[in-house]
Structure 1
């Protein structure tokens, strides 16, 4: 599939933003994080900005962005619509929780639970937009949903570790946040390796023979292309990335997105002050670059079954 930069940014920023809000709600409700007003302003602020920027970026890929509001009416049948409804619904408990945190120095377990559940539901709905598309076998599988959640968790946990180190440098429970980030980064790495292993060892059940219904006759070969020049289908759904380039990008995503950040977060636990902040900042930057690279690959390596009608041997 053709990688759309707006959607790549959306899935990266919104996933990290929603999971950051969920982690703030969780650690605040459990008493692991203090309801410090500055931490509340910065933490919730970063989360809301990331989520909002991601949601706005997602409309850039639409042919008519001004009609995006109409998607909310199809929540009964469309994962895209459900995502829109859930994304806005999350702002209500998260916003109320932020107000309690910043202005009243306290938290609320019911609001925290609602924020966590709605944040997870929103990211899950985003994943299901792609996992529900059966014509794209590399999306319609059981790896996509957990990977979306793990990628968001890795980013959100890394952001929270950095924010806490800046706002509360002497906070006693910083090590809990650092280990949360390390574990999240490790799980995200394992999830991506498992996903890549799956798409490398499997392919769609559709073939030129099954797509045309001529399998009983024998091998089907393309005699003439449906179009004499490149069209929308080939541009959007027939995008191809060379195997050697895909491998390099996978290594970059794995190293910069998860491995190096996990090492940097661990090293940050061994030092203090601005040295720890610098290491966590580098971890956050690396994770962002790796996540964007992984998201690009997620779209670039997908194959739509429509390409079978254009000479592709498998989808």
Structure 2
């Protein structure tokens, strides 16, 4: 599949915002949080969600008809995502307002719990857009939902640590560090597991089934059309085989190995170290999302994508 930058940015930004909100909510249940810090952290998450939402609009063909994307909510995971994302933004705004107005602890816990539920629901909706496509074996697996969730938890908690470090929230920073370590290592392990699984997959379709020519020694010399089309542009990434082989190592290095190494070698109290980890992980997760799309081998490429 061709990775669209709008979707790469949307899934990365919104996933980080979800992970930030989840970590902040859980922390608020276990320790008293500084109100000013919590307001700032929720505001950052809202900005990320808004940025992801704006990025997703660039993926629409008819932007004026965007509201119709929610019409098929009974059967479409994309429609459900379109509904749940504004719900999360609204829930985060209500949580922010409750903190700002000094609502009771019970009300704040209820608001944060609602945000956690909607956060988890959004991860499921986003991941199931891809996991429900059974003809794309690389996506049609529970690991797709698990990896979307864990990658968001990791990146969101790293960003929350950077915010805590910058505002001197030492108690929260100490509590978050095991969360960062556990979520990042688990996300790395399960993403590698998905890569290994996908590498062992056998294609369900063949050149013979794609063309309807059932000859054992069939060789394709042209792409099946006289010129380029939607099929040749939208279902193939266009990168070389060398790039596709190297990109998994690139994203593992940037999203997991280097941030963890940076924190281990330079300590976890410095704001610059956390900002470096945030930047490395953001670039790495963009690369990870590129790999996620590029490695999905659409059956139609058997017919359309070989060019003489």
When the two structures are superposed, what TM-score results if normalisation uses the length of structure 2? 0.91
Distance, in Å, in 2 between the alignment partners of 1:261 and 1:278 is: 12
> 1:120 & 1:288 partners in 2: Cα distance?
21
Q: Distance in 1 between matches of 2:172 and 2:167?
A: 13
Aligned to 2:127: 127
Q: Please say if residues 223 and 304 of structure 2, whose CA atoms lie closer than 8 Å, have aligned partners that are also in contact.
A: yes
Asked whether 1:309 is paired with 2:303, we answer: yes
Change (3 A) 1:222 1:242: closer
Question: 1:71-150 maps to which residues of 2 (within 5 A)?
Answer: 71-104=69-102, 107=105, 108-150=108-150
1:195 alignment partner in structure 2: 194
Partners of 2:224 and 2:304 within 8 A in 1: yes
Render the CA deviation track for 1:210-231: whole Å, top value 9, x for unaligned.
Answer: 445665x645544764311121
Task: Please point out which of 226, 234, 242 is paired with 2:224.
Answer: 226
Specify the alignment match of 2:17 in structure 1.
17
C-alpha deviation, 1:106, in angstroms: 5.8
Conserved 8 A contact 1:181-1:265: no
CA contact (8 A) 1:185 1:259 kept: no
Q: Which runs of 4+ in 1 moved over 6 A?
A: none
d(CA) in 2 for partners of 1:109 and 1:271? 29
CA distance in 2, matches of 1:70, 1:11: 21
Report deviation, 1:161.
0.7
With 44-53 and 294-303 compared, the bigger mean Cα shift is at 294-303
Give the Cα–Cα distance (whole angstroms) in 2 for the partners of residues 154 and 79 of structure 1: 24
Tell me the SS of whatever aligns to 2:78: helix
Task: Say if 1:55 and 1:271 are closer, same or farther in 2 by CA, change over 3 A.
Answer: closer
Residues in 2 aligned to 1:229 and 1:135: alpha-carbon distance in whole angstroms: 26
The Cα of 1:54 is off from its aligned counterpart by 0.3
> 1: CA distance between counterparts of 2:25 and 2:128?
24
8 Å contact from structure 1 (residues 44, 98) kept in 2:
yes
User: CA-atom RMSD, angstroms?
Assistant: 2.1
Deviations 1:224-249 (A, max 9, x none): 64311121101111334333222332
Q: Name the residue aligned to 2:3.
A: 3
Separation in structure 1 between the aligned mates of residue 250 and residue 177 of structure 2, nearest angstrom: 23
Q: CA deviation at 1:16?
A: 0.7
Render the CA deviation track for 1:124-171: whole Å, top value 9, x for unaligned.
1111111112232222223211111111111101011111111124x2
Stretch deviating more after TM superposition (239-248 or 5-14): 239-248
Q: Distance in 1 between matches of 2:116 and 2:160?
A: 15
Aligned positions of 1:289-308 closer than 5 A: 289-308=283-302
> Residues 52, 113 of structure 1: CA spacing in aligned structure 2 closer, same or farther, 3 A cutoff?
same
Q: Which runs of 5+ in 2 are unaligned?
A: none
Q: Deviations over 1:2-35 (max 9, x none)?
A: 111111100100011112112211211222xx33
Contact 1:181–1:262 (8 Å) recurs in 2: no
Q: Distance in 1 between matches of 2:282 and 2:303?
A: 37
Q: Structure 1 81/271 Cα, relative in aligned 2: closer, same or farther at 3 Å?
A: closer
Residue of structure 2 in register with 1:277 after alignment: 271
> For structure 1, which runs of at least 5 residues remain unmatched after alignment?
none
Q: How many residues align?
A: 304
Contact 2:164 2:172 in 1 (8 A): no
